[in-house]
Structure 1
Amino acid sequence: MTNLAEVSDRASPSCETFEPASLDSPLVFSSPHSGKIYPPAFLAASVLDLPTLRSSEDVAVDDLFSAVTLHGAPLLRANFPRAFLDVNREPYELDPKLFDQPPPDYANVRSLRVAGGLGTIARVVSEGRAIYGARIPLAEGLARIHAYYKPYHAALERLLNRTVEKFGIVCLIDCHSMPSRMPTGDARRPYEPVNADIVIGDRYGASCDPGFSHRVHALLSGMGYRVARNKPYAGGFITESYAARSRNRHALQIEINRALYLDEKTLELAAGYARLKADLTRLIAEIAPAAALTGGAGRQAAE
């Protein structure tokens, strides 16, 4: 697979669904931050170069989980980059500091994510670097939401509904990568290493059957990975919004430490990439069969 970003204004779908030959699994996989098609107009409006903009990208996460289609589950991937628009946010988490006009009344302008510059249309990328040199038109931000955000969530909703109709249950696996260092808020020691290889987020049991979360945790730990649960990532907007355990809809977020497979400065794939992909393929083979989910979550829902 290629790891290169693409600069293109060609007509391309905002997202793509990779389908299995046969729908045999109650799992649906989502990779919302691995998109790497950068519109030229966006690059022209930014004061950052392409490598810096890509620092917020979940590089190659879609490929790391690509074996899902061989095990009966679909994978939905965004084609646009996270720096351009973030679908793991409310549809209208809009930063007043970013736009040339006040956001509409229905926008959420006070969330913690907006305060950090990381709303639906981000103002900054990693380490707080400003994307734009000036405010951008509000109309442009709203147009992005219409053309990119809404199609992604419509596609995700269709996949989840289809799976529930067939199996009576679904679990969304939301796939991400995380920087190997986290900001501390301490000027004397601004960053510290993330003390985990993989973080599993189930909103502290609210978004996914704990038995299924524990199985994923145990399988990854058995492969030799340091696995954390819910800290520092418990699950974002997608995990929270699509989970409804009382209706047999579960969601689990998986965050992978980029140092396992990537040179975080050059964004080149590292030697560990092949092993990580092989291990994730083994994980998928274990959890994709319907019995892996219905044996725990489905039984509990029926009781």
Structure 2
Amino acid sequence: MTPSVVDIVEGNSPVILAAPHAGTWLPESIHARLNERGQALLDTDWHVDRLYRDLLPGATTVTARFHRYVIDANRDPSGQSLYPGQNTTALVPEVDFDNQPIWQTGEAPDADEIRARIQTYHAPYHAALAAQIERVRARHGIAVLYDCHSIRSQAPFLFDGLLPVFNLGTDNSRSCDPVFEAVATQICQAASSYPTVVNGRFRGGWTTRHYGRPEQGVHAIQMELAQRAYLATERPPFDFDAQIAAPLQAVLRDLLHALAVTAQELSP
């Protein structure tokens, strides 16, 4: 049985939590074509939906059910690279974050199949997200889209060294009012045990860049978290560790609350 493409929980806060990469579901017809490495789903944003659950009462959540190997909901549907000149993965990845093939020989989807996946998965996810942004903006006069992500702390194909825990992305300060970036940065930097960078290797994916229109009252921020801050291990089985995660969740709770308060203050 095919599950819904997206899970939606409507809230009354001006903040929307989006999670395009938390899903682990794949149709059996796609799963069977992945090689052993692909079937391990190593590049999942493991448990990021659980990490944020209940941190901001009243927040709207929009969570993709499908895995990014079906199609990446945080990539431009045109296929254009978000980071020209830098290593990255495609709209439908052919390799993982270690630059290793994920499909059995000859089983990677062709252009026609990718177009079909856009219509079946990518477009419905973004239709749902766009509808929630409009609903929230109509209610508050403002909407804050917070895009939830996580990644292994080390992925040499994508970045050098050890990734900071907090990676805030605002498309080089274009996707939100500067006050939101400043508030988020201040709270993250105050948690001295968690290294922070703003608009570093991850400055915001397609979601942040597409929806972030501060002049229209829509403010978008991406948070890419290093998974060492909440997982027991960054290798299979990628178990969530509540004890490790607790202090991180305390910072995230403060951050989301501050974004909500700031939105209320700026609401027309």
The amino acid of 2:30's aligned partner reads F
Contact 2:19/2:48 (8 A) holds in 1: yes
CA contact (8 A) 2:97 2:155 kept: no
Query: Does structure 2 retain, via aligned residues, the 8 Å contact 1:179–1:258?
Result: yes
| Distance in 1 (alpha carbons) for counterparts of 2:82 and 2:148 | 23
Q: Which of 140, 145, 157 does residue 113 from structure 2 map onto?
A: 140
Q: Could you tell me which amino acid in structure 1 is paired with residue 4 of structure 2?
A: P
Cross-structure match for 1:233: 202
Q: How far apart are 1:90 and its partner, in Å?
A: 1.3
- CA distance in 2 between counterparts of 1:113 and 1:261 reads 31
Contact 1:117 1:123 in 2 (8 A): no
Report the Cα distance in structure 2 between the residues aligned to 1:243 and 1:274, rounded to whole angstroms: 30
**CA distance, structure 2, for counterparts of residue 114 and residue 136 of structure 1:** 24
In the alignment, the residues of structure 1 paired with residue 143 and residue 100 of structure 2 have an alpha-carbon distance, to the nearest angstrom, of 38
Aligned equivalents of 1:117, 1:216: Cα separation in 2: 26
Q: Is the 8 A contact 1:71 1:285 kept in 2?
A: no
Q: How does 1:81-100 map to 2 (within 5 A)?
A: 81-93=67-79
1:66 CA displacement: 1.5
AA of the residue aligned to 1:177: S
Structure whose alpha-carbon radius of gyration is higher: 1
Residue 221 of structure 1 and its aligned partner are, at CA, apart by 2.6
Q: In the alignment, which residue of structure 2 is the partner of 1:35?
A: 23
Q: 1:26 aligns with which of 3, 10, 14?
A: 14
Compared CA separation, residues 184 and 91, structure 1 to 2 (3 A): closer
Is 2:48 aligned against 1:61? yes
User: What is aligned with 2:153?
Assistant: 180
Partner Cα distance (2:257, 2:67) in 1 = 29
Deviation at 1:115, TM superposition (A): 8.7
TM-score (norm 1): 0.79
Q: Which residue of 2 aligns with 1:212?
A: 180
Structure 1 position 122 matched with structure 2 position 93? yes
For residue 23 of structure 2, give the secondary structure of its aligned residue in structure 1: coil
3-state SS of paired residue (2:258): helix
Contact 1:71 1:288 in 2 (8 A): no
Could you say which residue in structure 2 is the equivalent of 1:198? 166
Counterpart position of 2:63 = 77
Contact 2:7 2:65 in 1 (8 A): yes
Mapped partners of 2:173, 2:117: distance in 1? 33
Q: 1:113 to 1:63 in 2, by over 3 A?
A: farther
The one-letter code matched in structure 2 to 1:247 is Q
**1:126 CA drift (Å):** 1.4
Once residues 184 and 175 of structure 1 are traced to their aligned partners in structure 2, the CA distance between those partners, rounded to angstroms, is 22
Distance of 2:118 and 2:85 partners within structure 1: 16
Residue from 286, 290, 294 that aligns with 2:258: 286
- The Cα offsets for residues 138-166 of structure 1, whole Å up to 9 and x where unpaired, read as 33222211111011000010011111111
> SS state of the match for residue 155, structure 1?
helix
| Structure 1 SS opposite 2:32 | helix
For residue 167 of structure 1, what is the aligned residue in structure 2?
140
2:239 maps to amino acid:
E
Who is 1:277 aligned against? 249
Secondary structure class of the residue paired with 2:98: helix
Distance, in Å, in 2 between the alignment partners of 1:197 and 1:16 is 27
Counterparts of 1:161 and 1:199, CA distance in 2: 27
Question: What are the superposed Cα offsets for residues 4-52 of structure 1, whole Å, 9 maximum, x if unpaired?
Answer: xxxxxx12101111223xx1x2111100000011222112111134663
Q: Is the 8 A contact 1:199 1:254 kept in 2?
A: yes
Aligned counterparts of 1:36 and 1:216: Cα–Cα separation in 2? 29
TM-score (norm 2): 0.88
**Contact 2:229–2:248 at 8 Å: present in 1 too?**
yes
The offset of 1:294, in angstroms, is 4.2
> Aligned-pair distance for 1:116?
4.9
